[in-house]
Chains A and B, each alone.
Chain A
Amino acid sequence: MTPDGMTPERFETLAEAYGGDVARWPDAEREAAAQAMAARPAWAQAALARAGDLDAALDAYGPPRAAAGLMDRIVADAPTPRRAWRWTGWLAPAGLGAGLAAACAAGMILGARLSTPAIPETDSVVTAVTADDTGAYPDEEA
């Protein structure tokens, strides 16, 4: 038993389970492990080195590489659920502007209509409208 209470058996169990790097051992036991190492450094180093050899062998087995295009395929699967919302967000100010523009236009038309009777409907005006509607001037038809 070491002064901190960690037995050599426990130290070896941890090395066997979590490997030769004490930084990867459970948080709650690292302090006691450090004290055990200080108390019996040669023995502790031998236990850690043995576990470390297996760690190194494990590290030789690398992960598979992603095939070309895998990331793009995954990204393509991602939905864009807020795209409609974003368009709405973009359109909101535009809609407001359009509303104001429409209101202005309506006001102008109404104003024009209200003011029309003040303008005398002379023959020339009626003739011009008639010509626009038919596409031909009365003089040309005559």
Chain B
Amino acid sequence: MGDPDEELLSRVATGDPAAVRALVARKLPRLLSLAGRILGDRQEAQDVAQEAFLRVWKQAPKWRPGAARFDTWLHRVALNLCYDRLRRRREVAYADPPERADEGPGPDRGLMAADTGRRVGAALAALPDRQREAIVLCHYQELGNIEAAAVMGVSVEALESLLGRGRRALRAALADMKEL
């Protein structure tokens, strides 16, 4: 199966302004979706998207058709940028630990209970990084299992295990929501 982005990318490589805008329109929502859910921060997600596109502009003239799917490569790039930010967060957290953890639902988070999206976002943020990545790639980004495993650099079996554990943890975290 051909890469649906390849033709557009080749036009981007020639500096075609219409192709540049078309590629941004096609991929920006996916990048925001990925980075937003991995990082849980809108501004950081936008920064990651902008940085990822800088890599795209650099890579486009060197892109070798057939070597890899562009969307997979882009997810890998964006995920690496997210990793960098998560690592920096951990370093800051170790150096200056917060007064209280801001993870998961609890009795003091009653206001969030009314907002399913926020509850899910908090529960997702509380997952171990790799479980969260697996869920974001498969559920939100709708990558196939082979593609998601390739992006994460794990086997399909390992991906499946991460997905199962992540979803079970989410179900437990959201257990007070009656439909779960």
Q: Are A57 and B50 in contact (CB under 8 A)?
A: no
CB-defined interface of A30-70 with B at 8 Å, one 1/0 digit per residue? 00000000000000000000010111111011111111001
Q: Are A57 and B164 in contact (CB under 8 A)?
A: no
A83 at the interface (CB under 8 A from B): yes
Residues of A near B156 (CB, < 8 A) are: 26
User: Which of A72-80, A103-111, A114-122, A134-142 is the contact stretch?
Assistant: A72-80
Residues of A near B142 (CB, < 8 A) are: 24
A123 at the interface (CB under 8 A from B): no
Looking at chain A's contact residues, the main secondary structure is: helix
CB-CB nearest in chain B for A26: B145
Could you tell me the distance between the alpha carbons of A16 and B167 in the complex, rounded to whole angstroms?
7
A113 at the interface (CB under 8 A from B): no
CB-CB nearest in chain B for A63: B33
Could you tell me the distance between the alpha carbons of A77 and B50 in the complex, rounded to whole angstroms?
9
User: Which of B71-79, B83-91, B94-102, B132-140 is the contact stretch?
Assistant: B132-140
Known contacts A26-B144, A66-B46: A74-B24 contact under CB 8 Å: yes
Residues of A near B167 (CB, < 8 A) are: 16-17, 19, 51, 54
CB-defined interface of B3-26 with A at 8 Å, one 1/0 digit per residue? 000000000111101001100110
- Give the B interface residue count (CB, 8 A): 51
A27 at the interface (CB under 8 A from B): yes
Interface size on A, as a range, is 35 or more
Q: Are A61 and B49 in contact (CB under 8 A)?
A: no
B163 at the interface (CB under 8 A from A): yes
Residue from A51, A57, A71, A82 within 8 A of B14 (CB atoms) = A82
Q: Are A18 and B170 in contact (CB under 8 A)?
A: no
> Which parts of B1-57 form the interface with A (CB within 8 Å)?
12-15, 17, 20-21, 24-25, 28-29, 32-33, 36-37, 42, 45-46, 49-50, 53-54, 57
Residues of B near A83 (CB, < 8 A) are: 15
Residues of B within 8 A of A (CB): 12-15, 17, 20-21, 24-25, 28-29, 32-33, 36-37, 42, 45-46, 49-50, 53-54, 57, 61, 116-121, 124, 135, 138-140, 142, 144-146, 156, 160, 163-164, 167-168, 170-171, 174, 177, 179-180
Nearest first, the 7 closest Cβ-Cβ pairs linking A and B are: A63-B33, A64-B42, A80-B15, A17-B163, A64-B36, A61-B120, A60-B116
Residues of A within 8 A of B (CB): 13, 16-19, 24, 26-27, 51, 53-58, 60-67, 70-71, 73-75, 77-83, 86
